[in-house]
Amino acid sequence: MKIKWLNKLIGARTIKTGLATFLTALFCQLLTLPAIFAVITSIVSIEPTAKASLRKAYVRFPASILGAFIAVTSTYFLGESALSYSIAATVTIFVCYKLKLYDGLLVASLTAVAMVPNIHTDFAYNFFSRLATTTIGLGTAGVVNFFVLPPKYINQIKQLLDIFETKMMNTLNTRINEITNEKITSNTTEQLMVETDKLISKIEQLKGYQKEELQFHKNTEKQLELAQITHRLNVNRLIQLHINHLIMLPHDIQLHFSEEEQTAMNHLIQSFHQFGETRIYEPHKPSLSLLKMSVKHLDEFDENQFKNHMIYEILMINKLLEQHPNKRR
């Protein structure tokens, strides 16, 4: 119970970083090895998922060896000088980049630079001790990340989806109001579109983390829940796509709506707003019928063809909301 309270207060990743740092330093002290390099490695090795920690450990280990070797070599020839620091950092980054050890760049360069002032005469001992401490740091971080407070992103994803759906409906309503008032260009809705795009990217990232985590910590219930979330997310992405089509219109077009069409739009705005706030969707049927008839009456020679496009997008959004997996019955 105390762990759950602490987790809510400072976060699981912070707790795991502190624990990994403590255990790493303790192991190094018991083995009479310098702890600083191992601690640095353990801190940067705590990842959002256990799989990420293991995957990046395969990269960070050889990168750290390279960093240690370069630091020992530069110090052997140049001593503890400004040039040694520069060469240790620059060459380490260059070699790691060329070998595509991108996830190991930070650990390797920090290890290389931090080693320079601690290397004296026993170069072989310093190299192998750094190798040992790096192994301890990576191993401890991996074990802690795997067994201690496995990350659970399901609830966080659901909360973000709720926020996204509300924001998405607000964007839709704002855009419909703009277009029916013949305001085609709008910085307001373009900014809202950017914000919703960023939010859905964050959701996708967390969903990916949860999917990775379930590969190591099998849970049938969570897998089913993740599948449901994925379906809900896919429907939201389709709705978002149709809203974006309403926003990204040519700037030089003109749209003209009759009074009846504007009234129908206002009724639908109320329905969209209701879904955004309560997840209850009750579309105004007469308004939908009127808009469908408006589309049918437009022919290919009509100068107001973009109105056809807009109404089509709104009707598609309506259809998706009627079948939305998060809609309350």
pTM over 0.85: no
CA distances for 218 relative to 10, 205, 207, 250, angstroms: 26, 20, 15, 49
What share of the chain has pLDDT > 90, as a percent?
A: 40
Q: For 35-92, how does the pLDDT look when each residue is reduced to its tens digit (9 = 90+)? A: 888 888 888 888 888 778 888 888 888 998 898 889 888 888 888 889 999 999 999 9
Statement to judge: residues 317 and 181 lie in one domain: yes
- Check whether 7 has a pLDDT greater than 70: no
In the chain, the number of structural domains is 2
- Check whether 8 has a pLDDT greater than 70: no
Statement to judge: residues 63 and 192 lie in one domain: no
Statement to judge: residues 79 and 223 lie in one domain: no
Residue 327 included in any domain: no
Statement to judge: residues 21 and 79 lie in one domain: yes
Mean per-residue pLDDT of the chain: 86
Statement to judge: residues 193 and 252 lie in one domain: yes
Q: What confidence score (pLDDT) does residue 251 get?
A: 78
Statement to judge: residues 159 and 95 lie in one domain: no
Q: For 179-219, how does the pLDDT look when each residue is reduced to its tens digit (9 = 90+)? A: 888 788 888 899 999 999 999 999 999 999 898 888 877 78
Statement to judge: residues 165 and 67 lie in one domain: no
Residue 201 included in any domain: yes
| Candidate from 142-151, 247-256, 293-302 with smallest mean pLDDT | 293-302
Statement to judge: residues 178 and 108 lie in one domain: no
Domain boundary among 147, 180, 204: 147
Structural domain that includes position 89 = 2-147
What share of the chain has pLDDT > 70, as a percent?
A: 94
- Check whether 5 has a pLDDT greater than 50: no
Residue 329 included in any domain: no
Structure tokens given for 19: 């624990």
**Could you please report the per-residue DSSP string of 82-121?**
HHHHHHHHHHHHHHHHHTT-GGGHHHHHHHHHHHGGG--S
Statement to judge: residues 137 and 224 lie in one domain: no
Domain boundary among 100, 115, 147: 147
Q: What confidence score (pLDDT) does residue 180 get?
A: 85
Domain boundary among 147, 163, 197: 147
Query: How far apart are the C-alpha atoms of 264 and 255, rounded to whole Å?
Result: 16
Q: What CATH code is carried by the domain that includes residue 162?
A: 1.20.120.940
Query: For 173, how many CA atoms within 13 A lie in the half-sphere containing its CB?
Result: 18
Statement to judge: residues 109 and 159 lie in one domain: no
**Contacts of 29-36 spanning 24+ positions with Cβ under 8 A:** 31/132, 31/136, 33/129, 33/132, 33/133, 33/136, 34/118, 34/129, 34/133, 35/133, 36/114
- Check whether 304 has a pLDDT greater than 80: no
Q: How confident is the model at residue 297 (pLDDT cuts 50, 70, 90)?
A: low
Scanning the chain, the segments in alpha helix (DSSP H) are 2-10, 12-30, 35-44, 50-78, 82-98, 105-115, 123-147, 154-180, 187-216, 220-247, 259-278, 285-297, 305-322
